[in-house]
Structure 1
Amino acid sequence: MTAFERVRLPAFGGAAAWLNTEPLGPPELRGKAVLVDFWTLTCINWLRTVPYVRAWSQAYRDDGLIVIGVHTPEFTFERDVDRVRQAVAARRIDYPVAIDNDYAVWRAFDNHYWPALYFVDDAGVVRDEHFGEGRYDRSEQVIQRMLGVRRELVSPLVEGRGVEAEADWQQLRSPETYLGYARGENFASAGGIAYDERRDYDVPADLRPNHWALAGPWTAERENVLLDAAGGSIACRFHARDAHLVMSPGDGGPIPFRVLVDGAPPGDSHGGDVDANGEGLLQQGRLYQLLRERGTVGERSLRITFGAPGARAYAFTFG
């Protein structure tokens, strides 16, 4: 028996609110097999797992499985319950979601990751756990063992679309890159980043792979960089099929933006949040898909320019 098999299902009493259900606790969960999924709405790794969790919830709910999503925010703007509610609708999540703004449920599970899955049997014992993407067939087999059923797996039939599509792992050579100074790295504008003060920046002519830079007046904050005037831009050099940027308009918006790839509009390789000319609109805080390469994947330079001040950018992610 492993260490986690001796752990009992923690209570959800620390949840600030619930979506899709009345509050759930020991009386409601007693004698039930439970799958707990920790997520945050801007996490690309979670977005690529949600088609599987959604499929498991639908395939096994009549067998007694209860899926509970626990939304624990990574960025401050993700604490907005209405924004989480919008993400739940966009991702077609119909199972219960606990709002964990104070990290109470996170701490009760001693969790450290997004996404994280905890598999709890009908005796309330955590029988398995998995962090990150992948291992879908094995996870579904764990569900079947907890429920005492055995039939063809649904996981091989799952196909994510849009931002939910599986990454092109063979071509993915760029890591998640945070822009706020608390976790930011690989910043390439001359003079480095200035903490909590407005500064004018320039993009270097020889931006190196997996580095990023700013152009125009920006204020670097702990979680993000904030644009102080229209016309400012962010550039990065990456190697991946997909490029995303977590952004928010703050209290303003909508903010128009334009994406160029290697100095030209993306054309057929535009992401789901921009058109072929690279035009997009920043209307709410979330992850925006800027590029999905439909040709040969290689090292590319991306530049996103904003038509109004107030844009906040948090992290590049790739797929």
Structure 2
Amino acid sequence: MIKTRSLGFITAAILAAGATTAICFGDALGLVAAHSAPLAAGTVAALGASTRPLDAIQHARPWLTAVPGGPQSLRGKVVLVNFWTYSCINSLRALPYLRAWQARYRDQGLVVLGVHAPEFGFEHDPANVRRAAAALGVRYPNLQDNDFAVWRDFANQGWPGFYFIDAKGRVRGYRIGEGDYAESEQLIRKLLAEAGHDPSGVAVTPIAGTGIEAAADWNDLGSPEAYLGYAKAADFRSPGGIRKGASAAYSAAPSLPLNGWDLRGAWTVGREFAALDQPAGALRFRFHARDAHLVLGGAPDGLPVRYRVTIDGAAPGADHGTDIDADGWGEVKEDRLYQLVRQTGAIRDRTITVEFTRPGVRAYVFTFG
């Protein structure tokens, strides 16, 4: 098990350096259990951020879900800006809190505003984002930031990013990553009180995600994100290594170490994803976590692709995720994150195998929780 370490000093160093590389902070810089950077409170903003953040929002386009009254109506409101992308498990696990805060404090003057900044190519498509947002219950205003213009104006550094803006338009707190939700809610209440509202009558009750949105088991998480495109791939174990950008026949490794993976069958490994070229292909990953997810894209013909998951060579049974049944069967119908495993017993090193029945499927990244 990897020891938990604070990301505060790492985040500060990144901000100070003015880095622009987007990372999913559930596994920032490969530190599996260090799942968040501390909330910075007071009259603060990330280094390099605009001092007038609402101006960046006012001129941004397109709005997937509009702000009632238009972006200009945000002035004088307390605004929580959340940078997210719909295939990122860290973004998904933050949604129960964002939905609850919008419902609790909307009448007190809070506006939760999503800025969808895509990680993968399919997330640039507004139709995909609208479909995902509807399925996830994201009903608050949501902006599509395909060129990362708003991201850069806020000097954001990863998903999920949270920026707390007071009624005078100043960033009063920010954090990158999951966690510290109680502290975040107290800051929201403070900013609302400063704006002349009285949130004292709003009960602060526990918020908990279910299904794919449930909080990770951070204490027993020993596997990082594992990208399957060659641009970020690591620990690939099929004999001969990755053949970049060309169809090639791969075979399974004799054995897999923890966090190692391989392919079987004919695949083309591109920068972002590995695409199956012929029927009966498979991929494996050796992991240590309660949950295992895989971001998958559908076949070009638009028809579902059946797949089967096994854990250590057996059907998952009670350990199946929300997107497969107890026998391990599921279907890729749209481009998104699929939950394959949620273990119910003791966590130990396991090998997940995903076998696909026909070609065309794209596999982007394994994530864990």
Question: Alignment identity in percent?
Answer: 47
Amino acid of the structure 1 residue aligned with 2:45: F
Q: Counterpart of 2:191?
A: 146
Return the letter of the residue paired with 2:100.
Answer: A
What is aligned with 1:160?
209
Question: 8 Å contact 2:279–2:359 — kept in the other structure?
Answer: yes
- CA shift, 1:2, in A, is 5.7
One-letter code aligned to 1:175 = P
Q: Deviations over 1:233-270 (max 9, x none)?
A: 01000000000000001423310000010001101110
- 1:109 aligns to what? 154
1:15/1:101 contact within 8 Å kept: no
The CA deviation at 1:230 is 0.8
CA distance in 2, matches of 1:154, 1:202: 56
Tell me the TM-score normalised to structure 2 length.
0.83
* Residue of structure 1 in register with 2:367 after alignment: 317
* Counterpart in the other structure of 2:163: 118
Contact kept, 8 Å, 2:85 with 2:159, in 1: the verdict is: yes
| Alignment map for 1:12-91 (pairs within 5 Å) | 12=57, 13-21=59-67, 24-25=70-71, 27-91=72-136
Compared CA separation, residues 33 and 22, structure 1 to 2 (3 A): closer
1:151 Cα deviation (Å)?
3.2
Q: CA deviation at 1:8?
A: 2.4
Q: Does 1:128 align with 2:177?
A: no
Provide the secondary structure at the position in 1 that maps to 2:218: coil
Q: Distance in 2 between matches of 1:281 and 1:265?
A: 16
Query: CA 1:103/1:204 → structure 2, altered by over 3 Å: closer, same or farther?
Result: same
Instruction: Measure the CA separation in 2 of the matches of 1:18 and 1:199.
Output: 40
Task: Report how far residue 156 of structure 1 moved.
Answer: 5.1
Match of 1:217 in 2: 266
Aligned to 2:52: 8
Computed over aligned residues only, the root mean square deviation of the Cα atoms, in angstroms, reads 1.7
Aligned mates of 1:241, 1:155 — CA distance in 2: 29
The partner residue of 2:321 within 271, 274, 277 is 271
Q: 249-258 or 179-188, which moves further after superposition?
A: 249-258
Q: Which residue of 2 aligns with 1:305?
A: 355
Task: Please tell me the residue identity of whatever aligns with 2:298.
Answer: P
My pick for the range that moved more, 260-269 or 100-109, is 100-109
User: Which one has a larger percent helix, Structure 1 or Structure 2?
Assistant: 2
Q: Say which SS state the counterpart of residue 107 (structure 2) adopts.
A: helix
Change (3 A) 1:250 1:21: farther
Please, which of 306, 311, 315 is the counterpart of residue 261 of structure 1?
A: 311
Aligned mates of 2:204, 2:300 — CA distance in 1: 40
Give, in whole Å, the separation in 2 of the partners of 1:208 and 1:200: 22
User: What code does the residue aligned with 2:367 have?
Assistant: T
Worse-matched range after superposition: 128-137 or 201-210: 201-210
1:121 and 1:143 map into 2 onto residues whose CA distance is 9
Cα distance, 1:30 vs. partner?
1.2
- Superimposed CA distance per residue, residues 251-307 of structure 1 (whole angstroms, 9 cap, x where no aligned partner): 233100000100011011100000000000001000000000011111100000000
- Give how far 1:84 is off: 0.8
1:293 paired with 2:338, answer: no
SS at match of 1:163: helix
Distance 1:183 1:160 in 2: 30
Aligned residue in 2 for 1:173 = 222
Aligned pairs, number: 318
- CA–CA distance in structure 2, aligned partners of residues 150 and 53 of structure 1: 17
d(CA) in 2 for partners of 1:155, 1:132:
22
| C-alpha distance 155-239 of structure 1, shift in aligned 2 (>3 A) | farther
Look up the SS of the partner of 2:131 in the other structure.
helix
Cα distance in structure 2, aligned partners of 1:152 and 1:31: 21
> Distance between the aligned counterparts of 2:118 and 2:323, measured in 1?
22
Offset from partner CA, 1:153-210 (integer Å, 9 cap, x none): 8665111001100011111110011110111111111111011001111111211100
TM-score of the aligned structures, taking structure 1 as reference length: 0.95
Task: Indicate conservation of the 8 Å contact 1:249/1:312, yes or no.
Answer: yes
Query: Which amino acid is the alignment partner of residue 52 of structure 2?
Result: R
